[in-house]
């Protein structure tokens, strides 16, 4: 009997197949994919274009208490060139076109900060080892912090080399699925954190 692939892996593989390589990335196909996924999951979805032809897709899931501040989860479709000759291994998810660029870039990391306290508590409860560091490549977080938003960059990609746009960037399927589990615990806890 053949192993049935997890739906999260299938969905991610389909997303990675969208051609977003420069100089002609197909952002429209990414936008349509994300809108279809949101519709399937019954998530409110919209798009805005701050720059013509480069949509920002916004999915909104209302928390238990809509009066609380919003939790903003950010990702982007990366568009570094790929080298198809380097694709060789079916058991690995190759991240040539979509890098989960959320490495640790944490500002205040003490338990008196309610966001950090909740974030680190979830990781501790899951018995996950982690380290904090300033990641110079995470410019998006820096810009958010300059606007006084709390920004925690996080990557659950354990035992994975940080190749950062190299031609052989990859993510093992089991590591990806473990990351999905981690986010599934983090998101509700952070989204329902009382206002401080």
Alpha-carbon distances of 113 from 32, 72, 92, 151, 183, rounded to whole Å: 38, 18, 37, 12, 20
pLDDT digits (tens, 9 = 90+) for 20-30: 877 788 999 99
Q: Where are the domains of the chain?
A: 7-191
Q: For 7-191, CATH number?
A: 1.10.150.900
Dump pLDDT digits (tens) for 160-191: 777 666 666 778 899 999 999 999 999 999 88
| pLDDT value at residue 110 | 82
pLDDT category, 7, cuts 50, 70, 90? Answer: very high
Greater model confidence, 145 or 180: 180
pLDDT digits (tens, 9 = 90+) for 45-82: 999 999 998 899 999 888 888 888 788 877 777 656 65
Taking each helix axis from N to C end, the angle separating 7-16 and 173-191, rounded to the nearest 10 degrees, works out to 100
Helix (H) or strand (E) holding 50: strand 44-51
């Amino acid at each position: 009997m053949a192993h049935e692939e997890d739906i999260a892996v299938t969905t991610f593989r389909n997303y990675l197949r969208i051609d977003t390589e420069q100089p002609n990335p197909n952002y429209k196909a990414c936008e349509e994919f994300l809108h279809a996924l949101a519709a399937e999951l019954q998530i409110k979805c919209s798009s805005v274009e701050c720059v013509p032809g480069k949509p920002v897709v916004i999915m909104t899931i209302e928390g238990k208490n809509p009066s609380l501040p919003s939790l903003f989860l950010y990702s982007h479709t990366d568009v570094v060139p790929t080298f198809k000759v380097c694709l060789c291994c079916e058991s690995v998810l190759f991240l040539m076109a979509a890098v989960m660029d959320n490495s640790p870039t944490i500002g205040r990391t003490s338990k008196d900060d309610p966001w950090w306290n909740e974030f680190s508590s979830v990781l501790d409860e899951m018995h996950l080892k982690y380290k904090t560091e300033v990641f110079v490549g995470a410019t998006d977080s820096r810009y958010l912090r300059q606007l006084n938003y709390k920004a925690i960059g996080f990557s659950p990609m354990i035992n994975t080399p940080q190749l950062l746009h190299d031609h052989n960037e990859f993510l093992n399927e089991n590591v990806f699925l473990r990351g999905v589990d981690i986010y599934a615990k983090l998101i509700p806890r952070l989204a329902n954190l009382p206002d401080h």
